[in-house]
Structure 1
Amino acid sequence: MIEIVNRATGQLLDADSIPGLAEIAALHDEQILELRDLIEGDSAGGSAPRGPGSRPVVWAQLSARESAQTWEALAAWVGWLRGRYPLAQKVPPCWWRHPELVEELTALWLSWREAYVEKGAPLSAGADWHGRWLPEAVRRIRAGGWNIGCEGEHRPVVENLYDGRSVDDRPAFQAAITGTTQTHGGDNMPTDDLARALAEGRAKRLGELPGTPVELDGAFWVETESGWTQVEDDETVIFLRDAQQRLKLATGDRRDEDGR
């Protein structure tokens, strides 16, 4: 008989019946999702637990990998902002070339995440963001005149009010952060590569829910906003291997129960 205890309640779970196994599987998925949040925080270091953008960003203090991840996440959000609101002419696509704009947009991005992404935000946080932080940031950007000097150089003419481009020159932007991403070869994997491994059966999720960690060739990977990051923390790897074994036991017993 396998004894599994719900650590949150101290309840002994029944691993010898189909309903009990279903409860164990549900608890397993919940724990894996919680662990994924913690892993994303560890993978992003001091810049962003649970993914880039969840903690105040001090660019000068970010490691190479943290900087690359945060750049990608911020750029994706700026593209969304310029396409969602009529700000294409107020927030230029060359924003990433101007330190002042980077700092303003980073602060605006973090305030948006606090209102819409972080747990425990009040229901009025979105209204506060629209009424306070967004217009104030736009006012400062317009009043500062920080991007005026680039109008005759790299800044393309933007005629529409809406423009979903995240940056003006993707290859140039990528080249600017390539130096940071290449220093960590093997730590990150493109989304398409891991998706292909899952489709071919070479990789397997630890749980049945999307977003749970994935095992590939003996290594564990978690999905972040900038792709897939390998889990390197020894204690976390041990926990994941233990969770993997518990899942195999549960699914194996479930197959035995179904075959009776």
Structure 2
Amino acid sequence: MTIPQYNPGPADWRHLDQASSAALWLELREWVEWLRRRYDLGSEIKSCWFKHDPMVEELTAAMWAHREVYQQLKKNLYHGGMAAWHYQVLWPLVGRISKMGFGECRRGVCGFEPDAPEIADDFAEFVAAEVADRPEFVPDPESVTSGAEALTMDQVLEMIDGARAVAEDPSDDFTAVDIDGVRWEFDDETETYRPAE
């Protein structure tokens, strides 16, 4: 099995160039300030939030999740995503904020001092031994995809969970997927995945 090449998206801070990060910072600031006002979260999300790396990552994810459920694409307005965003994203995030380093921050003064954890010196040796203990990969000739003309959504999700399939756009529930080097697309009529032609 080979891991597909990683193509960073527009919100992956670790891989952004200068122009992309500047644009994302502006977008995130506007959204966070709206969020703080709208939900009265000024005392939870302190004004120095942008100096707290964990908070930046969490707020970026929350903003993109919010965008996904609130924009009108091909979704039914009453699909429940807006309510789900509140109970699956927003309120759990608010519950985690106390663990994100705001404890020493006071009005106008940021007391955040991020840890600089070091990796143990024996990392390379550990990984080499751990990898050597694993069996070699042998493709299964009775693979669920061999000779299959269609796969159910459940089968595809199971393969994604097992890292055998890779979704092209993880934010799209019906995105095409790569399974063993073959592109499979969702067919609306049969509600199954089929190999792309």
Superposition TM-score tier, normalisation by shorter sequence: 0.3 to 0.5
**Higher share of residues assigned helix:** 1
Higher relative contact order (CA 8 A, sep 6+): 1
* TM-score (norm: length of structure 1): 0.36
